Structure 1
């Protein structure tokens, strides 16, 4: 197996790990959407504590075949995501598996002993990990995030949750639409959303925080409704937009496929919202800023 074939195998392993964390996805790299790419970037940040760009994923993971091998540092990140220390260990382990059928009987017997020893080591490590999971399960808290008015669970695609300390911000893993927080001490959790007010909570092992309730940002919620609905009364919509938008509104639309960004002022963006369109409904709001009077003066959007 040459390096490119091995990289193709690594891509399949990465896709398998992604499906473990996002079981609703049942496609291939070819059907990998912009949202799937954002989910994978977040998963790598959580699991490996490294950053991979959206452009890199489009260039190296989305294609069915690759003409050249990516940089070793990126291969290391993907190898660590699927459970190896790096690319060199990934290559070594898979070369052992490939070469084994070609060995003679003596080497085969010797190899079996090596594999048996490795199996015993893996079994011991698995037992150790399982013990720690059982021992530490009481330190893992699953928290729902709800709307304070409706008491409904908030779509976790609209939520960014981090553990904040003096020197860093650590993304919190989301499993089954709940925040998974592991702690043996007191930690500060910050919840951000373009459609809700920021919330800070303290979670401790002895006194875990109850389910988190967020206050809606009313004007942001109105904007979300405009973007997703099929309202036909454009005059009414125009009057409402004039009320919730600041006169100095700035809108940045980040284009897909790393093609840059577009800028809109209040009048230009209002014109896009007055008449509903398919492209408008595919836009994902990433950030909203309000003035003291609650009017929206900045919006950042991802074009999906």
Structure 2
């Protein structure tokens, strides 16, 4: 096998590793969406403490064929993501597997028909149990109650409650799919921008919409962080109205380097100037005081 052949194997291993975190993805690199790419970038950074760009994924991973081998440092990152110490170990391990396969090829041919028969019986059994144990599901679409717009997956989390434990539900195309084990399933929807909802889902045949009520101050804060408003004096006045005097802000730094703390004045000064670093911030959690003002914010850089 050539190194390009081993790279094709590595691409498949990356997909297998990705599917362990996102089991609902059952496609290939051709069907790998932009959201899947963002998920993969975060997983690689979390597992290897190293970065991989969206452009690199489009160029080398989504391509059906590769005429050139990528740089070794990038191969090392993907190999580490797949469970090896680096590219050299990945090639060595898989070369040993190929050699072992060739040595056992003649023996496998002798058992060929026996294996086919066994697999046929096994497949029938799997299909039987899968069909008999199939769960009824219900699709729910998440929308803004006031605008009726669908809500982005990165802005909301969904959970089912089983035996007092939270089990996260994947969100794709603003929809969640809930397995209905009993007559009712309890679903919890949480977001820093929308008010928390707990819903009981029944066994119905039609898709249901869940309308989430936005938190006005949280939405205003999001607008401040993402907009290009240059009137800093107006921004400062508006921020003063929605932020508590006792505001605490925790900014989680990249690469697990710790966190930064800001009070109200420090955070306001940071927001009144619309920089690119502010626009890239992602709000993870917001808490309000009894007056409705924001008193705590957790942010991811």
Same fold? TM cut 0.5: yes
SS at match of 1:257: helix
Alpha carbons of structure 1 residues 211 and 57: separation in structure 2 relative to 1, 3 Å: farther
Distance 1:287 1:36 in 2: 23
Paired residues for 1:14-163 under 5 Å: 14-15=17-18, 20=26, 23-25=32-34, 35-36=39-40, 55-58=46-49, 64-65=75-76, 99-103=100-104, 105=106, 107-121=107-121, 123-125=123-125, 127-128=127-128, 131-132=131-132, 136=135, 139-163=136-160
Show the counterpart of 1:189: 187
5+ residue gaps in structure 2? 53-72, 84-92
Distance 2:278 2:285 in 1: 16
1:210-253 CA distances to partner (integer Å, 9 max, x unpaired)?
31111110000000000000001100000000110000100000
5+ residue gaps in structure 1? 42-53, 76-90
Distance 2:15 2:197 in 1: 38
Alpha carbons of structure 1 residues 275 and 69: separation in structure 2 relative to 1, 3 Å: closer
Given candidates 227, 230, 248, the residue that maps to 1:229 is 227
Distance 1:274 1:264 in 2: 14
Distance 1:146 1:287 in 2: 20
Residue pair 2:252, 2:258 contacting (<8 A) in 1 also: yes
1:50-77 CA distances to partner (integer Å, 9 max, x unpaired)?
xxxx6434379996227x989xxx96xx
Alpha carbons of structure 1 residues 226 and 118: separation in structure 2 relative to 1, 3 Å: farther
SS at match of 2:120: helix
Alpha carbons of structure 1 residues 238 and 130: separation in structure 2 relative to 1, 3 Å: same
Residue pair 2:246, 2:264 contacting (<8 A) in 1 also: yes
Alpha carbons of structure 1 residues 98 and 147: separation in structure 2 relative to 1, 3 Å: farther
Show the counterpart of 2:16: 13
SS at match of 1:145: strand
Aligned length: 259
Residue pair 2:139, 2:207 contacting (<8 A) in 1 also: no
Paired residues for 1:165-184 under 5 Å: 165-184=162-181
TM-score (norm 2): 0.72
RMSD of aligned Cα (Å): 3.8
Moved over 6 A (4+): 59-62, 94-97
TM-score (norm 1): 0.71
Distance 1:132 1:180 in 2: 20
SS at match of 1:175: coil
Show the counterpart of 2:300: 302
Show the counterpart of 1:217: 215
Compute the displacement of 1:97 (Å). Answer: 6.9
Distance 1:234 1:288 in 2: 23
